[in-house]
């Protein structure tokens, strides 16, 4: 079945179909294995000790409320500059310009179009433009660190931004977060809501970061790391990193709080 008059429902390889919000809404979503997502209580990540549930979770049945969700489209009032964090202020931000792009897929590898992708991040010095962030790194008046876009008809998103710096966070002695970008996706159903972090390849802080390592499955951790793509760099302008996001299923991107 085709979702629009012009849009074929398969790629040239005949494998992936464009998501149809009616025909493809399942009756329920399969729950992912627990090791694919961070533990709610992970003692090395200190604040989880205070905020994790003390009792076993009670899994409620999926009803229409959970299997349907926000139906966003191009009428959402996105600004031209929302996906380019380097042009949102008067001047040029400081740091390494990067293009971060990828596809958003559903459980069965179907690209999800019109999915709202939101990001927030620290600046090149590792500092957030937020009143609670007071560590001794400079703010950049030309970088606020927030962006959003909708995926296109092939489920693709793209941001232009500045590579964030690592920052100390006080969890334990000399604790530093690896450089990362926070992502939020709404998906097609409220059970697909995803909040997670994208990392950069080869970061030396990976072995020391309890947030990264709270995802116990090594292959699941690797799914949080972007890949450098020389072919998508913009010569004399920007580096490029790819990161595909799977909202559910065996290749699911780890959620910060799975449910």
In the chain, the DSSP E strands lie at 97-105, 116-121, 146-150, 156-162, 167-168, 176-177, 180-185, 194-199, 227-228, 239-242, 245-246
**Is the Cβ–Cβ distance between 226 and 200 less than 8 Å?**
yes
Residues with catalytic function: 128, 167, 177, 180, 182
Helix H or strand E segment including 218: helix 218-222
Alpha-carbon radius of gyration of the chain: 19
User: Starting at the edge strand that comes first in sequence, how are the strands of the sheet with 180-185 ordered?
Assistant: 146-150, 116-121, 180-185, 194-199
């Amino acid at each position: 079945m085709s979702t629009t008059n012009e849009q074929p429902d398969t790629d040239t390889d005949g494998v992936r179909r464009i998501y149809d919000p009616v025909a493809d809404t399942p009756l329920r979503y399969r729950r992912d294995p627990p090791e694919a997502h961070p533990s709610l209580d992970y003692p090395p990540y200190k604040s989880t000790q205070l905020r994790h549930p003390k009792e076993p979770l009670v899994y409620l049945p999926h009803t229409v409320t959970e299997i349907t969700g926000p139906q966003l489209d191009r009428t959402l009032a996105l600004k031209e500059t929302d996906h380019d964090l380097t042009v949102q202020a008067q001047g040029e931000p400081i740091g390494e310009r990067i293009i971060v792009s990828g596809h958003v897929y559903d459980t069965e590898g179907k690209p999800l179009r019109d999915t709202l992708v939101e990001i927030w991040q620290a600046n090149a010095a590792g500092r957030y433009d937020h009143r609670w962030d007071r560590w001794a790194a400079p703010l950049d008046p030309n970088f606020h660190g927030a962006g959003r876009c909708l995926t296109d008809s092939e489920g693709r998103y793209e941001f232009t931004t500045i590579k964030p710096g690592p920052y100390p966070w006080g969890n334990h002695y000399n604790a530093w977060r690896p450089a990362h970008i926070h992502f939020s996706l709404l998906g097609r159903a409220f059970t697909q809501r995803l909040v997670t972090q994208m990392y950069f390849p080869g970061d030396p802080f990976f072995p020391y970061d309890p947030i990264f390592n709270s995802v116990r499955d090594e292959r699941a951790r690797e799914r949080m790391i972007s890949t450098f793509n020389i072919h998508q760099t913009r010569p004399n302008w920007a580096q490029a990193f790819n990161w595909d996001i799977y909202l559910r299923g065996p290749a699911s991107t780890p959620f910060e709080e799975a449910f």
